[in-house]
Amino acid sequence: MAKSIVVKDMTKCMFCGRPKEAIHHIFFGPNRNNSEKYGLTAPLCNYHHNMSNQSVHFNRQMDLELKVLAQKAFEDKYSHELFMQVFGKNYKE
């Protein structure tokens, strides 16, 4: 089971509380492995993952809010400098 530093309960969708149907890698594409490595994943139901306009894959605002949460969690555990080194972008600005 994937571990997350963003949320404690990986069994429920972090947006609505329904049972988790997907593990979302918050930073995808070339950073998918870094999301896995550093625990930047989120449990989501399909509706909030990729099956509606209110999902992180189709709603840019939701995607950015999740990235800000992930960056804060990462920086609390590691540092801002390491976040910038690994991910190369400050989402908190």
Task: Give the pair of three-digit tokens for residue 14.
Answer: 């972090």
Averaged pLDDT, 62-75: 97
Q: How far apart are CA 52 and CA 27, in angstroms?
A: 20
- 10 located within any domain: no
CA distances from 18 to 44, 45, 63 (A): 8, 6, 19
CA dist 46 and 76 (Å) reads 29
Within a domain: residue 51?
yes
Domain count for the chain: 1
Q: Which residue has the higher pLDDT, 93 or 85?
A: 85
State pTM to two decimals: 0.93
**Is residue 12 a part of any domain in this protein?**
no
- Tell whether 74 is covered by a domain: yes
pLDDT (tens digit per residue) in 5-48: 999 999 999 999 999 999 999 999 999 999 999 999 999 999 99
Domain of residue 38 covers 22-85
